[in-house]
Amino acid sequence: MSESVFITDVGPRDGLQNQPKVLSIDERLQLVRAIAAAGVPQIEVGSFVSPKAVPAMAGTDQVLAALEAPEFATPTIALIPNMKGYELARAAGAKTVTMVLYASDGMAQKNAAMSMLETEAVTLDILKLAKQDGIEVIATIAVSFECPFDGPTDPALVQTIVAKFLDAGADQLVLADTIGAAHPQQVRELTAALVATHGSAQLGCHFHDTRAMGLANVYAAVESGIRRFDSSIAGLGGCPFAPGASGNVATDDIAMMLQQMGFDTGIDLDTLMEASDLAETLTGTAPGGRSKAWLKGYLAKQER
């Protein structure tokens, strides 16, 4: 049996929040369902953030309501920036939330209007509530490698945050390269150190492809033992609060690479291409995975 890698598609959140075109609830649902149809095991379907700050994420409660089990079997996640977000997510029936931590004050202020330490304190409060509420918490550390405001991140700071929040009961910790500035050597060193200390079961990585190193960074993390990755259908994305960030590494590319390397992702590439096409049609701006032209030709040949 081949080893598994667990992919979370964050396109319907990280991707859509940064598109010039705001999709309707129905269009967001179409995209989520198309990604799920391809067998992606988990999808971040939206966020509970100020609709003034991120108009594209308004109505995430309606998205969650429409995706209730048992009709929709794929586990969903909603991102939250603060306690208000947690309360809204809980009220909407979220089973898993991603709370954002920061490895710089500059980014914490810009993105959450708090200091780094304030976001840590709120996250500790959220973790206590979530245990009582039976909600799973993923803590994502934004700017784990470099901040557009404060510069390079000290890996020791990220290690401290990971240890603190695993200890506090977070279900998972995700290192986010929010602006896509990390290079593979950095990724390899930090992830290897973290896996050596904590094992890999609760660790994940989230890369953006700004400098075309997204897949190389995924590979470096895989080599260190990381088996959980965020990616975005058709490479949708960017962060409206992080200047210069482009889309996430595309689910199209990461699924193809990992499968060719012999890992099981549970994803059907043919059906994933349909989701990728839909992302492009709906947004008009999704770049599509870098492998897409080749991959579609290859898949067509296989079918003949």
CB 50 to ligand COA: min, Å: 3
Measured distance CA(145)–CA(4) in Å, rounded:
26
Helical residues (DSSP H) of the chain, grouped into ranges? 25-37, 60-66, 83-91, 105-112, 116-133, 155-167, 184-198, 214-224, 251-260, 269-283, 292-303
For 131, the 3-state DSSP assignment is: helix
Residue 146 touching Zn ion (CB under 5 A): no
Query: Which residue, 169 or 240, is less far from ligand COA as judged by CB?
Result: 240
- Which of these ranges, 11-19, 46-54, 162-170, 276-284, lies near Zn ion under the rule CB under 5 A? 11-19
Contacting Zn ion (CB under 5 A), which of 7, 8, 14, 104?
Answer: 14
Instruction: Please say if 239 is a catalytic residue.
Output: yes
CB 232 to ligand COA: min, Å: 13
- Site residues for ligand COA per CB under 6 A: 47-50, 53-54, 79, 81-82, 84-85, 88, 100, 111-113, 142, 239, 241
Residue 44 touching Zn ion (CB under 5 A): no
CB 142 to Zn ion: min, Å: 8
Question: How many alpha carbons fall within 13 Å on the CB side of residue 151?
Answer: 1
Query: Which residue, 90 or 296, is less far from ligand COA as judged by CB?
Result: 90
Structure tokens of 62? 């309606």
CB 4 to ligand COA: min, Å: 27
Instruction: Please answer whether residues 227 and 5 qualify as being in contact, where contact means their C-beta atoms are separated by less than 8 angstroms.
Output: yes
Backbone angles phi, psi at 107, to 5 degrees: -75, -35
Would you tell me how many other CB atoms lie within 10 Å of the CB of residue 219?
A: 18
Query: Which residue, 7 or 108, is less far from ligand COA as judged by CB?
Result: 108
Residues designated catalytic: 239
Residues at the site binding Zn ion, with contacts judged by CB under 5 A: 14
